[in-house]
Amino acid sequence: MMKNLTLAGLSTRPAQAWGSVRLVPLVREEPVENLRLHRHVYDDPSVVAVGDRTVYTAFIPHAYVATWANTEGPAASYGTRMLQKDDAGIAPASLPVRVRRRMARRVAKDRLRFLPLHLAVEGYLALHFGGPEIAWEEWSQRALRGGLSPRAERTFLGLHVRGLEDALGVFEVHPGQCGVMVYVADALASAFVVPHPDDYRALHATLVEDLFGETIYQYGLLNLPAAEMSVRIDDTRVGSLADLRAQAGLRQDEWASFHDTVMAGGLFDPDGGYRAVQHLNGFELGRFMPAFSPRRENHIGEVITRRKGRIAYLKSFRLSDTQVRRGYLLTRLAAHGWNLETTAKALGTDAAGLGLRLERAGFGYLLRQDVLDHYRAQARRGMPAPGT
């Protein structure tokens, strides 16, 4: 069940636009007490064991784990070399790999270490990761033994989203700003909230290191300009500075209402899910997922909340249409016990249609090859003759 997440306590301020990028500042009247965030940079790759016989691996910077040195722990190899038989004992140049025991882990009595957005993405990648719960005959042995392993999704760094780095460099940080909503071609790309204005100033530039979805990357390439959203003040109602101030405040309130209900209205899905991951001194770290509804925006994310669900920290990621379809198919299959016939009927198709949808979504390996070939043949027979 979705936790009651809202942006209560955060006020929307006038947006700044640069090309296709629009940044909307979020301001707190009072910083969140007893919680601060800071950045810790690791210069070496990281391996995270997340429990339940599952291992999540992230390399910072990216590298291949090629050797496990006997005395120095895991290491990442630099490049590739050809060795002669007599050189077998010579170790290649390598770089140590830091091992983290959990995705979100206490590193001290009053400190919690987690990788930004990795917690949210891990939740999406682990969605029904175990695969079929019942050994229906259509599923391959690979699916029955290993589920959806390996599971991978494509993301892009903010550095790859055209215009974002320039926008972060030229836009002013608003007084009291504790967050920002990032839009590309007026599509909500990401929400970022921290407890304190000093935290935001320290972390503002790190948005270019965040993960963004394929849709946002493509919108950046299209270079579609942000829509004009300036408002006019009715000069017939202005006869003094006090009148002007009142009219400006009214227009600012109208903009904030429009932004919060229309532009950012799809951030939290009331039909989605939420899972708490860690608790620390009255705060709760958790992640949320949507209900994977086609033809609407779907966001995953992670939050730190305190009493009454007030958000102290938030970072979100917008799923692409392809990623939404994958999540939708997996949740539908799981809801119907991974029975193809039953699931297909609920989706208004037949088993062959569902099987081909799974293949197009990248899950063709879950089906036995002969079953998939049979579905393809059925589809060809069902196609109309040329010219009809």
Which two three-digit tokens encode residue 297? 């925006």
| C-alpha span between 320 and 53 (Å, rounded) | 29
Gap between the Cα atoms of 114 and 155, Å rounded: 19
134 burial type by CB count under 10 A (0-12 exposed, 13-18 middle, 19+ buried): exposed
pTM: 0.78
pLDDT at 59: 42
**Strand (E) or helix (H) holding 382:** helix 369-382
pLDDT tens figures, 220-239: 998 888 888 777 787 788 88
Supply the mean pLDDT for the chain.
80
pLDDT digits (tens), the chain, 388 positions: 567 888 988 999 989 999 899 999 999 988 888 887 766 655 554 555 555 555 555 444 322 222 223 444 544 444 444 445 555 555 544 444 444 444 444 545 556 666 778 788 888 988 888 889 888 899 999 988 888 888 888 889 999 999 999 999 888 899 999 999 999 999 999 999 988 899 899 889 888 988 899 999 999 998 888 888 777 787 788 888 888 888 888 888 888 888 988 999 999 999 999 998 888 778 888 899 999 998 899 999 999 898 667 899 999 999 999 999 999 999 999 999 999 999 999 999 999 999 999 999 999 999 999 999 999 998 887 754 443 3
With b for 16 or more beta-carbon neighbours within 10 A and e for fewer, the 368-378 pattern comes to: beebbebbeee
Instruction: Write a three-state SS string for 110-160.
Output: CEEEECCCHHHHHHHHCCCCCCCCCCCCCECHHHHHHCCCCCCCCCEEHHH
The reported pLDDT for the residue numbered 80 is 42
